[in-house]
Structure 1
Amino acid sequence: MSLSLDRLVGDDADVLADRDFRMLLLASLISPMGASVVSPVVESLTGPYGVSTAEAALLLSAFTAPGIVLIPLSGVLADRYGRKPVLVSGLALFGLAGVALTLTTDFRVALGLRLLQGVGYTGIGPILITATGDLFSGARESAAQGVRFTAVGASLTVFPFLAGLLVAFAWQYPFALYAAALPVAAVVWLRFEEPAALGQGDTADGDASATDGDAAGSGGERGDGRGGVRTLLALASDPRVAATLVGRAVPGFLWFGFLTYNSIVVVRLLGGTPSAAGALVAVASVSSAVATTQAGRITARFGRPAPTFAALVVAAGGLAGLALAPSVPVALAAGVPVGAGFSVSLTLYRSALTGLASDDTRGGLVSLGESIGRLGSTGAPVAMGAAVALLADAAGYAAAVRTVSVAVAVGVVAVGGTLLLVGDMGVDADGEPTATAAND
């Protein structure tokens, strides 16, 4: 088993020996369910809720919207009180609100419950990224983020497919899958231990992470709210760091565009079934899981900027391929580049942000990046829906969906490439901090 992991992940496969990291992997199985369970069944929910497809897609935006405001708060709380209380609370709220969706056909109530789920998520995804950065640094951290994303990919392989199957029996059944978050919350509470020496500038594997001068000078005490905020704002105001933060939104915009329209393309435009739409998300997720195992090797050999841009190009090509697919099998094949490109670009962005801050500001910077990423995720269904509605009268619904999806693919490459040119991805090809990460 160890030899197989070494071949797949590289020399840093031993990150799996860390018990706390294994707890983070368990929680990572839950983190993508907020969107992945709903995505394959968007078209199927229009009847029970009595809404249009565009309105049903708001269930995705309602989930992502709270993160725009609350993710930075979760980062501050995690830096002040620890990762575990925030993570466990997030898992519990996420699971309870999700299960409650089985009890109502009122669309307004469903949107409210999705908002509550989104609040819960703000204590899950960003904290998992931050805690992984606490445990490891350098290429090992990139490898660990990749392995964690592989766990996310495994979840995305199973739960969307199950949702697509379950909705054929009853519209409520997919939402029952959210109950899985509750036992995971209990296990994490009992078994996860906070990384030692948080706020002292050391990672759990003994290597110094990239430090921030002001944070080091502040005495390194977790919970120094005013000093931490000033340090975080100073770091985020650097144009290169700011470009990296904004760039974090690009993969999410593309992915949520895919999640919003995959069931519409498969079911409405190509005459497929909800289970086929779930299979498309599963295909993308398998590709995602496999691709992210290589994040450590990619970082060690090529650095981050060039691979990140290449991954965005691959993902954009997949989205355009889905939009133009003439049949369900071709649409399924398009899921491969979408998943691989999205996961690699997102993993490298997240890894870059964890390396641009000290232990005392990592939670805040990562959470700020996740909040900005949520802007992209929330905006994709709304912006694409508005553009489709605008074009549908003149060109027809099918042509509008395809045109807007291709335009998004082109925009992702153009905007993502520009931000990468301006930004600082944190390490060079040898895995060493760049000037911004080392000196700011």
Structure 2
Amino acid sequence: MSTSSTVGFRSDRGPVLIALMLSTSLIALDSTILATAVPSIVDDLGGLGQFPWLFSVYLLAQAVSVPVYSKLADTVGRKPVILVGVGLFLVGSIMCGLAWDMTSLIVMRAVQGLGAGAVLPVTITIAGDIYTVAERAKAQGYLASVWATSSVVGPTLGGVFSQFVSWRWIFFVNIPLCLLAAAMLWRGYSESLERRTHRIDYAGSAVLTVSLTLLILAVLEGGQAWAWDSWQSIGSFAAGAVLVAVFVAIERRAAEPVLPFEVFSRRLIVATCLVSVGIGAVLVGLTSYVPTFLERTTGATPIVAGLAVAALTVGWPISASQSGRLYLRIGFSPTALIGLALAAVGSLGLWVASSVPSPWTAAAACFVVGLGLGLVATPTLIAAQASVAWHERAVVTGTNMFMRSVGSAVGVAIFGAIANAVIARQGGGTSAGAIQAGSSAVFLAVLVVAAVSIAAGLLMPHTRAEDVEQGAAVTDPETEPSTA
């Protein structure tokens, strides 16, 4: 590992950092650029009833593939896995741009999601490899800034391409980004692995993928595409649960399990995973309901409503980049608890202010939540990474990302059920009063999630950064690969 103490573009690791930011931008842009182009896509391809699958299938493919890619990154190395991910994302983007109907576009969005499932966790893992615990907060701040920029640039680009060029360019724009990211990773990032024979857990990987697909699909589509008590919903949950049990049995016998259960016997890993679930739920609650709440209750334009939510992604990288100073001084757990408290305060402010809707108060509350989450997401992830050896780091990182996806999926279902129930009590419809009542109930639920996340944060052991990293170094049975 490089010993340079500089984190930035001019350091010896600068080219790798730029490559990681480019790779992250692929996922960040794709998560925001599509929404504003949906009307143009439907006008061109048809399939109005199918368009929600453009988002669901992408999230599903990304979520279920993360654990498999993460294990592969710990087995064969980070570089080949992330290059495969960028390649899949490139192919998916090209084919999305060439789609001839909504069905083909949905299929290619799944390919994009499979690429994203490799890119997102491995970029964060590589940052954990090449930077020390003291440096990682600043490095994660750079990566978080990509999301902040994309939250503003993405919707704008989507609107510009749809209005003045073609919606197909929201996918074609990924081509130069993919090629540049792959080239910089190929040339700038190197790792030397201890060559030994690995026994890939094919059975475990296949069963895990199918089980997660069924369970996440049931959560995403329950109450939407089908009723919660329908045979599709019950069957998906039941089959998914059975396959989880089969997966556990397979993993107990596997020589190199795709999810080594001994990692999750550690209190720190379990606590950080629970916190990640809360982060995912809070994020989806705000990003899904704040824009509609502001548009229907204050008459705000989509751009103004979007900028109010963007305040969250502005606050996040600001606090994430500075979190290192806190966790090096007071430890990971106190830093995360401060962040969770801030997120709870921001959620409380949003709920209270929902009685008198205003884009300014909503933006201020989202900014505070963003500041809080930046002090939570980065320290908890870095604590988890630093507590394990190199050969477990990608699995732990991927699991952290996966649990955030689980939180988002479950949050979508719970918040949707709450909003629909409140709106139904208001007589149904889309009146400002009904939307305000439904959104206020969701914001209260977000506050409850933030409060429960504080309880999860209290489960984290109170350890200093150097203690966690030294413990991982002592237990590492392999030589950590050299990176440049």
Give me the TM-score of the superposition, normalised by structure 2: 0.72
Residue of structure 2 in register with 1:186 after alignment: 182
Q: Which residue type is aligned with residue 191 of structure 1?
A: R
The separation in 2 between residues aligned to 1:38 and 1:76, in whole angstroms, is 30
Cα offset for 1:103? 5.3
Residue of structure 2 in register with 1:212 after alignment: none
Residues 5-154 of structure 1 aligned to structure 2 (within 5 Å): 13=7, 17=11, 18=13, 19-38=15-34, 51=48, 59-98=54-93, 100-102=95-97, 108-154=103-149
Residue of structure 1 in register with 2:332 after alignment: 304
Residues 403-414 of structure 1 aligned to structure 2 (within 5 Å): 403-414=440-451
Cα offset for 1:127? 0.1
Unaligned runs of 5+ in 2: 201-253, 429-433, 476-484
Residue of structure 1 in register with 2:261 after alignment: 233
Q: Which residue type is aligned with residue 312 of structure 1?
A: L
Residue of structure 2 in register with 1:367 after alignment: 398
Q: Which residue type is aligned with residue 188 of structure 1?
A: M
The separation in 2 between residues aligned to 1:406 and 1:419, in whole angstroms, is 20
Give deviations 1:322-369, integer Å, cap 9, x for gaps: 562613333333332233223332112221221121011111221122
Q: Which residue type is aligned with residue 413 of structure 1?
A: A
Residue of structure 1 in register with 2:233 after alignment: none
The separation in 1 between residues aligned to 2:110 and 2:461, in whole angstroms, is 33
Asked if the contact 1:154/1:289 (under 8 Å) is kept, the reply is no
The separation in 2 between residues aligned to 1:328 and 1:177, in whole angstroms, is 31
Q: Secondary structure at the match of 1:229?
A: coil
The separation in 2 between residues aligned to 1:45 and 1:336, in whole angstroms, is 32
Residues 383 and 59 of structure 1, relative CA distance in 2, 3 Å threshold:
farther
Residues 420 and 221 of structure 1, relative CA distance in 2, 3 Å threshold:
farther
Residues 386 and 192 of structure 1, relative CA distance in 2, 3 Å threshold:
farther
| Residue from 402, 424, 436 that aligns with 2:439 | 402
Residues 68 and 186 of structure 1, relative CA distance in 2, 3 Å threshold:
closer
RMSD: 3.5
Residues 117 and 391 of structure 1, relative CA distance in 2, 3 Å threshold:
farther
- Which of structures 1 and 2 has the bigger CA Rg? 2
The separation in 1 between residues aligned to 2:272 and 2:380, in whole angstroms, is 7
The separation in 1 between residues aligned to 2:360 and 2:100, in whole angstroms, is 33
The separation in 2 between residues aligned to 1:46 and 1:332, in whole angstroms, is 31
Q: Secondary structure at the match of 2:260?
A: helix
The separation in 2 between residues aligned to 1:409 and 1:44, in whole angstroms, is 33
Asked if the contact 1:319/1:405 (under 8 Å) is kept, the reply is no
Residue of structure 2 in register with 1:390 after alignment: 421
Q: Secondary structure at the match of 2:468?
A: coil
Question: Are positions 1:159 and 2:163 aligned together?
Answer: no
Q: Which residue type is aligned with residue 184 of structure 2?
A: V
Give deviations 1:149-204, integer Å, cap 9, x for gaps: 233333334323433555555766655544454233432343232334x56xxxxx
Asked if the contact 2:315/2:367 (under 8 Å) is kept, the reply is yes
Q: Secondary structure at the match of 1:124?
A: helix
Question: Are positions 1:255 and 2:255 aligned together?
Answer: no
Cα offset for 1:404? 3.5
The separation in 2 between residues aligned to 1:24 and 1:123, in whole angstroms, is 12
Residues 114 and 388 of structure 1, relative CA distance in 2, 3 Å threshold:
farther
Q: Judge which range, 343-352 or 393-402, deviates more.
A: 393-402
Residue of structure 1 in register with 2:220 after alignment: none
Residue of structure 1 in register with 2:411 after alignment: 380
How many correspondences in the alignment? 405
Residue of structure 2 in register with 1:213 after alignment: none
Residues 69 and 77 of structure 1, relative CA distance in 2, 3 Å threshold:
same
Q: Which residue type is aligned with residue 280 of structure 1?
A: A
Q: Judge which range, 77-86 or 88-97, deviates more.
A: 88-97
Cα offset for 1:248? 1.7
The separation in 2 between residues aligned to 1:60 and 1:320, in whole angstroms, is 29
Residue of structure 2 in register with 1:352 after alignment: 383
Asked if the contact 1:64/1:118 (under 8 Å) is kept, the reply is yes
The separation in 2 between residues aligned to 1:222 and 1:284, in whole angstroms, is 46
Residues 436 and 379 of structure 1, relative CA distance in 2, 3 Å threshold:
farther
The separation in 2 between residues aligned to 1:110 and 1:317, in whole angstroms, is 41
Give me the TM-score of the superposition, normalised by structure 1: 0.78
Q: Secondary structure at the match of 1:32?
A: helix
Residue of structure 1 in register with 2:246 after alignment: none
Asked if the contact 1:318/1:338 (under 8 Å) is kept, the reply is yes
Residue of structure 2 in register with 1:202 after alignment: none
Q: Which residue type is aligned with residue 307 of structure 1?
A: T
Residues 164 and 314 of structure 1, relative CA distance in 2, 3 Å threshold:
farther
Residues 283 and 421 of structure 1, relative CA distance in 2, 3 Å threshold:
closer
The separation in 2 between residues aligned to 1:178 and 1:251, in whole angstroms, is 28
Cα offset for 1:141? 2.7
The separation in 1 between residues aligned to 2:48 and 2:448, in whole angstroms, is 30
Residue of structure 1 in register with 2:341 after alignment: 313
Q: Which residue type is aligned with residue 124 of structure 2?
A: I
Residues 278 and 181 of structure 1, relative CA distance in 2, 3 Å threshold:
farther
Give deviations 1:42-79, integer Å, cap 9, x for gaps: 79988876658xx8666444332224321110012212
The separation in 2 between residues aligned to 1:156 and 1:183, in whole angstroms, is 22
Asked if the contact 1:143/1:297 (under 8 Å) is kept, the reply is no
Cα offset for 1:124? 0.7
Question: Are positions 1:423 and 2:419 aligned together?
Answer: no
The separation in 1 between residues aligned to 2:274 and 2:321, in whole angstroms, is 25
Give deviations 1:207-237, integer Å, cap 9, x for gaps: xxxxxxxxxxxxx968465555399321212
Cα offset for 1:33? 2.4
Asked if the contact 2:99/2:105 (under 8 Å) is kept, the reply is yes
Question: Are positions 1:289 and 2:285 aligned together?
Answer: no
